[in-house]
Amino acid sequence: MRRDYRKWLERQGSSENTIRGRISETSRLESYYGDLDALYLGDRLAGLVSLLCYSTEDQRRRRPNPTKIPIDGDLRNNLATYKSAVELYRRFRDSEGDSALPDEPRAFAVDPFAVDPFASSDEEEIQRIGLERDLQVALRKQISQLESGLTIVDGGTERKVESGFIDITARDEAGVTVVVELKAGTAVRADVGQILSYMGDVSTEESVGAVRGILVAHDFHTNAKSAARMVPNLDLRKYSVKFLFSDGHD
């Protein structure tokens, strides 16, 4: 959590009790899901927001707590509070950009091919973010490698929808909008939920029924495969890295 978050809340006119509550909620989220700033750089917190969604239908069916956070009392109301805290922090980051405080170190993406297998979790997160950015840059240059006939239609920038930011928005040969989501490591069930949220947002915004999705990852957990199996308009694609070597004296 950025140290200037409190000052931003003060500028919004929040009371001291509200500020303390929001900071406490944000800190507790970080204790279970890690640094929110790292998550913001990855997907602008869309995955965490999606995880915290718990509907009245979920409550009626007594669906278990989908998060790591131990909760006593009303599960739906508590998760809604945490979701609101994440969305507020995302508003802060969206409004402030990446302007860190003068004495606050920045987290730079590292060479995605120089991955230390014994790296700490923080280092792994930075490497993941760097690799996902590199994947997006490379894929935007050669989108046809993902699927013949695809055309990028987002103007070269991530499209903002209600659930977050779409890595790449394209259109296939039949004119159907295609949502492309990139994951550097192994995609899990939550990642399937994330891209489905994006697809639903696009369907609503464009008032169309047909929207496709392509989830790109290095590998897929069995629970991701099981979830995707029930969505005929969602494709799973694995990526791989090929190294080419040449004489360094040339």
The whole-chain average pLDDT of the chain stands at: 81
Residues 6+ apart with CB under 8 A from 246: none
Please give the Cα distance from 16 to 188 (Å, whole number): 39
Domains of the chain: which residue ranges? Answer: 5-96, 123-238
Amino acid 76: pLDDT: 87
Domain 123-238 has CATH 3.40.1350.10: yes
Residue whose pair of structure tokens reads 């694995």 in the numeric block: 238
Of the listed ranges 86-90, 121-125, 165-169, 201-205, the one predicted with least confidence: 121-125
From 40-54, 90-104, 156-170, the region with the lowest mean pLDDT: 90-104
Tokens of 193: 């939920």
Read off the pLDDT of residues 136-172 as tens digits, 9 standing for 90 and up.
Answer: 888 888 899 999 999 999 888 888 888 888 999 999 9
Overall pTM surpassing 0.75 (yes/no): no
